[in-house]
Structure 1
Amino acid sequence: MHLIQILLPLYDNEGQPFTQDEFLKIRDELSERFGGITTYMRSPARGLWKETKETTVQDDIVIYEVMTETLDRAWWTKYRKQLTAAFRQALLIVRVSEVELL
């Protein structure tokens, strides 16, 4: 079993918020394709990273998770590129972990 997590920013690089419709569209797409989704939207997480030695950047993000038996890497790579363009990001994180159900 694989757990895929998508880290989506709440704001673009100019600080403009993305619309609720943009998040709902992704939620609905993933729910339809994978039969369910978990969204963490109530308390956005905050990401911090060093862009340069002197500059720290922060992002408020929401996390979408889906679980799937098989991992279609080609589909996920293409989907990540679509999301990166839609959310106007230089890099958008989509990560996968192998999960063992107890």
Structure 2
Amino acid sequence: MAALVEILLPVPRNKGPAYRNIREQLTETFGGVTFYANTPAECLWKDGVETEADQIIVVKVMVDEIDGEWWRGYRQELEATFEQEEIVIRATPIERL
């Protein structure tokens, strides 16, 4: 089933080359990518008592089928690249019209 995969990436300093690599890899692997990088979104969450804040960009890819193993490995690569405890990658089933 077709799906829209969204990757929520942090906006760190000096990661321009990492973003370029992500664009190239996802375009090569899936035939295209949408990169919402010009207007970072602000994210807030509770970590115990403290409220944490971060800025993210959203990367979207349409896929014909979800390869869970590939996406889990890719998430681990992104977590290492961006030095994050967790990178969120989520998929929503879609119907192409």
Using structure 1 for the length normalisation, give the TM-score. Answer: 0.90
- State the match for 1:14 in structure 2: none
Do structure 1's residue 70 and structure 2's residue 65 form an aligned pair? yes
Paired letter, 2:11: L
- State the match for 1:61 in structure 2: 56
**CA deviation string 1:70-92 (max 9, x = no partner):** 11000000100110111101111
Q: CA deviation at 1:69?
A: 0.7
Moved over 4 A (4+): none
CA RMSD in angstroms comes to 0.9
Q: CA deviation at 1:98?
A: 0.4
**Residues matched between the structures, number:** 96
Q: CA deviation at 1:26?
A: 0.6
Using structure 2 for the length normalisation, give the TM-score. Answer: 0.94
Do structure 1's residue 34 and structure 2's residue 34 form an aligned pair? no
Structure 1 unaligned runs (5+)? Answer: 12-16
Distance 1:33 1:18 in 2: 25
